[in-house]
Amino acid sequence: MTLETIKEFVNIIFAPEIILPLILLVFFVIFPPTDRLYKLNKMLRIDKLWTKEGGIAIFAILIVFFLFGLTDPNFKLIVTKPDNVPIVGLIFLVVFFLWFAMKQAVENDQRIGEGKKPAEDADSKEKVLVWPDLVYIEFIALILCTVLLIAWSILLKAPLEEPANPAVSPNPSKAPWYFLGLQEMLVYFDPWIAGVLFPTIIIIGMMAIPYLDHNEKGRGYFSFNERKMAISVFMFFWLVLWVFLIMVGTFLRGPNWNFFGPFEFWDVNKLEALTNVNLSEIVYMIWLKQQLPANILLRELPGFLVIIGYFGLMPLILAKTLFKRLFDQLGSLRYSIFTILLLMAVSLPIKMLLRWAFNIKYIVAIPEFFFNI
């Protein structure tokens, strides 16, 4: 296998219609929300990742990937851009802290399994003084951060570009890194959803967390087993819907907002066939071989049914099946709020999948009233 074939293979893996399902599959095995998946996780010995050896292996793979990648001019160009260097740092930091937290959680799970108290239990008995134990190390950390920032600013010059010109927008035009997730959402949803509804729901949802989660366990110490659902849901938001989309926006979205593999040249002239269709067109034109109905409501009936089914029936079905225990624990009100929020969050990857795999543009498409879902 030559280097080029490896690169091509990686490029193929990173194609959106493959990487997204892949991540979804792997994610729920690594962070299993339910007991059954937890068993699978244990069976596959995935919790070995959260040991010292596992950590070394994760970092070794990351480092090897980057070192290998840097031999490629296209990869190097994107990764070493002064704007993108912090995002590379972000990958390593996120992975490190993820591993660090999970390691302690897994260790505690083991202790609890053995009937012992979690490791943090001992800490709670110890008292330390603000000075010097807290302030001193904070001060040292502050100095070290200053050293790092100064050295960084000397070595990597601030990336200045041409004066902003309303008539000429850069290609690709990218939002600041922390907004790349929102920008990515705009590809799949209309601005009123991606730019207004979702951000609002995110804030409301976060405010709701303390009221929804009344699990007494796992407070003050790391534990996975005791809070599988909570951690899995959080990690899904954080890692998939936030960090992953930042990575996509930074490294994989190129000119014209086209998708590029990590080793692909960012060709301004690359063209992708945009042949997206609405659900109504699939139903009427492809399946039923009919003309689209003139009546808007009739035309969008399948879409409305899907939406109603998704938000109306799904919570009920889930309450009877997958979330049966959860429903019992939370009660109907908490359960409804929780599932609606969750379904909304999950709708993003679902819509992404539908777009990438089936070219679906809108579930409900009423451009006449600027109402598209």
Partner 1 sequence: MEPQERHYNIDKLNVLFAVSSLGLLAVLGWMVADDYSRSWKDVQKKFRTLEIEKTRVKFDTTENLLEQTPEYQELVAELEQARSEYAANCAPKESVKAEVKNLTAQNGLLVQEQKFISAKLDASRYLYENALKNNARDADSRRAEFNALSQKLDELDLAVAQSNQALDEKTKGVEVCGARLKELERQEHNFSNKAQILHRKLVNIDPDKMSFTSRIADMVRDLPILDLANPKYKINQIVLKDITEDVNFMTVPKVDRCITCHLGIDNPDFEHADQPFTTHPDLNNFLGRESPHPMEEFGCSVCHGGRGRGTDFNSAAHTPSSPEQAKAWEEKYHWHQLHHWEKPMLPIQYTEASCFKCHSGQTEVKKADKLNLGLHVIEKAGCYNCHEIEKFKGWPKPGPDLTKVASKISKNWAYRWISDPHGFRLDTWMPSFFFQSNTSDPQSRARNEQEIHAIAEYLFKKSQEYDKSAPPMAGDPVRGEELVASVGCLACHQTSPLAASQMVTADSLRREHGPNLTGVGTKISEKWIYNWLKDPKRYHPATRMPNLRLIDQEAADIAAFLGTLKNEDFNATPIPDVSETVMDEIVFNFLAKSKTNAQAEEALGAMNLEEKLLFAGEKLIRHYGCFSCHDISGFESDKPIGTAMTEEGDKSTHRLDFGFVNIEHMNYAWFTQKLKDPRIFDQGRVKAHDEKLRMPNFHFTDEEIEAVVTALLGFVRDVPEAKVVPRDARNIDIESGQKLVRQMNCKGCHILEGEGGSIRPSVAEWLIKYDNRSDTEAQAIVNSFSPPNLVGEGKKVQAQWLFEFIHAPETIRPWLKVRMPTYNFASEQLNILLKYFSALDGQDFPFEEKVDVSLTEQEYKAAQALFSPEYFDCVKCHIVGNKLPDGSPENWAPNFALAKRRLKPDWIVEWIKNPQNLLPGTKMPNYFDPQAFEASGPDDILNGDEHEQIRVLRNFLLTLSEQPPLAERNAEPQPAAASSSAEENPQLTPIEGLN
Taking the complex as a whole, the smallest distance from the CB of residue 143 to partner 1 amounts, in Å, to 4
Taking the complex as a whole, the smallest distance from the CB of residue 121 to partner 1 amounts, in Å, to 17
Taking the complex as a whole, the smallest distance from the CB of residue 163 to partner 1 amounts, in Å, to 4
Q: Which of these, 259, 277, 279, 278, lies nearest to 267 by C-alpha position? A: 259
Taking the complex as a whole, the smallest distance from the CB of residue 255 to partner 1 amounts, in Å, to 10
Neighbours of 153 (CB within 10 A): 10
Copy the structure tokens of residue 167. 């008539």
Nearer to partner 1, 113 or 163 (CB): 163
Nearer to partner 1, 172 or 195 (CB): 172
CA–CA distance, 94 with 135 (Å, rounded to integer): 25
Name 167's Cβ contacts closer than 8 Å, sequence gap at least 6: none
Taking the complex as a whole, the smallest distance from the CB of residue 120 to partner 1 amounts, in Å, to 15
Copy the structure tokens of residue 110. 């083991």
Nearer to partner 1, 45 or 127 (CB): 127
Nearer to partner 1, 207 or 271 (CB): 271
Nearer to partner 1, 137 or 333 (CB): 137
State residue 370 phi and psi, 5-degree precision. Answer: 55, 35
Nearer to partner 1, 80 or 146 (CB): 146
State residue 277 phi and psi, 5-degree precision. Answer: -130, 160
Please classify residue 233 by burial: count the beta carbons closer than 10 Å to its beta carbon, then call 0-12 exposed, 13-18 middle and 19+ buried.
buried
Taking the complex as a whole, the smallest distance from the CB of residue 210 to partner 1 amounts, in Å, to 30
Taking the complex as a whole, the smallest distance from the CB of residue 244 to partner 1 amounts, in Å, to 30
Per-residue HEC secondary structure of 181-238 comes to HHHHHHHHCCHHHHHHHHHHHHHHHHHHHHHHCCCCCCCCCCCCHHHHHHHHHHHHHH
Q: Which residues bind partner 1 (CB under 8 A)?
A: 126-129, 132-133, 136-137, 139-140, 143-144, 146-147, 150-151, 154, 160-166, 168, 171, 268
Nearer to partner 1, 35 or 267 (CB): 267
